[in-house]
Structure 1
Amino acid sequence: MGTWDVGPFDNDTAADFAGDLDDAAPAERLPMIRGALLRCADSGEYLDAPDAERAVAAAALVVAQHPEGPPACSVYGPSEAVPRLPGELRLLAVEALDRVVAPASELAELWGDAPSGPRWRRGVARLRDALDPPVPPQEEVLFAV
């Protein structure tokens, strides 16, 4: 795993994905992002690390276009403009991120053994929360006896 930090583009696979997006014609960028998310979400029983790394990077691009999402700025992220991404990619990105941290994910296994693993998981959780905010806790109702 050629990884230097916990950010969405801080590994060789994600940085290459960003470079591929930059090299692609503008009309090809949306299908590339959607494809990375679909490969991850529909990966079957076991998710390989490269597919997971591309999906985290793609999800970060979706999050960057969400009104409450943090920007996907990274030295290793795409330099060229990413097209306006359709809203339905939010749900697909949530599915992909859930799959990335699931037990049958090679990337989750690799980070599970790493000292920075908890920081990586928090970063993935922040991306997911920006796309699918947690449901607020229900008010506790007390009954008098």
Structure 2
Amino acid sequence: MGTWDIGPFDNDTAADFSYRVDEAEAGRKADVLRGAFREVTGTGDDYLDADLSVEAVAAAALVAAQCPGGEPVTSYGPKEPLGVLPVELRAEAVAALDRVVAEPSELLELWEESDGEEWKAGIRKLRAVLADAGA
């Protein structure tokens, strides 16, 4: 995975995920995000693959962008409009983020080897926007 910064779309896997979101039919984009969340939350206590985590973080950023206080997704995010996302995705996004930062998580391990605190702060901020919006 090529990573150039700590943002949700600052890596190759998230950029590829954006393309998958763009390629989904207009009425199915939320399903792509939901699928990313469920891939992560469905791992239970098993080791969580970094690529799955990256996609869930990117999906959470897309949901949070539609919440009060959420930041717009710009570079490397989907180019096509998402439409209004279901409010129910907020809780799924929170659950996925919680799993990404819980052991055993490959992405967490990778970030703890470098800028882990800054990355975790970004995840906490993303989670707070989603939770404050009624997740």
Q: TM-score range by the shorter chain?
A: over 0.9
Shift of 1:83: 2.2
Which residue number corresponds to residue 116 of structure 2? 117
Residues 63 and 72, structure 1, Cα contact 8 Å, conserved in 2: no
Name the Cα RMSD after superposition: 1.1
Which residue does 2:17 correspond to in 1?
17
**What is the CA–CA distance in structure 2 between the aligned matches of 1:43 and 1:65, rounded to whole Å?**
27
C-alpha contact 2:68 2:129 (8 A) present in aligned 1: no
Corresponding position of 1:128: 127
TM-score by length of 1: 0.86
User: How many residues are matched?
Assistant: 131
**Corresponding residue of 1:43:** 43
TM score, norm. by length of structure 2: 0.92
CA–CA separation in structure 1 for the residues paired with 2:21 and 2:76? 12
SS in 1 for 2:82: coil
Q: Does 1:58 align with 2:55?
A: no
> Where does the alignment leave 5 or more consecutive residues of structure 1 unmatched?
134-145
**2:85 matched residue in structure 1:** 85
Could you give the per-residue CA deviations for residues 113-140 of structure 1, whole angstroms, max 9, x where no partner exists? 01x221111111110011114xxxxxxx
- Normalized per residue, the structure richer in helix is 2
- Which protein is bigger by CA-based radius of gyration? 1
Alignment check: 8 A CA contact 1:90 1:131 kept:
yes
Distance 2:106 2:18 in 1: 21
Gaps of 5+ in 2: none
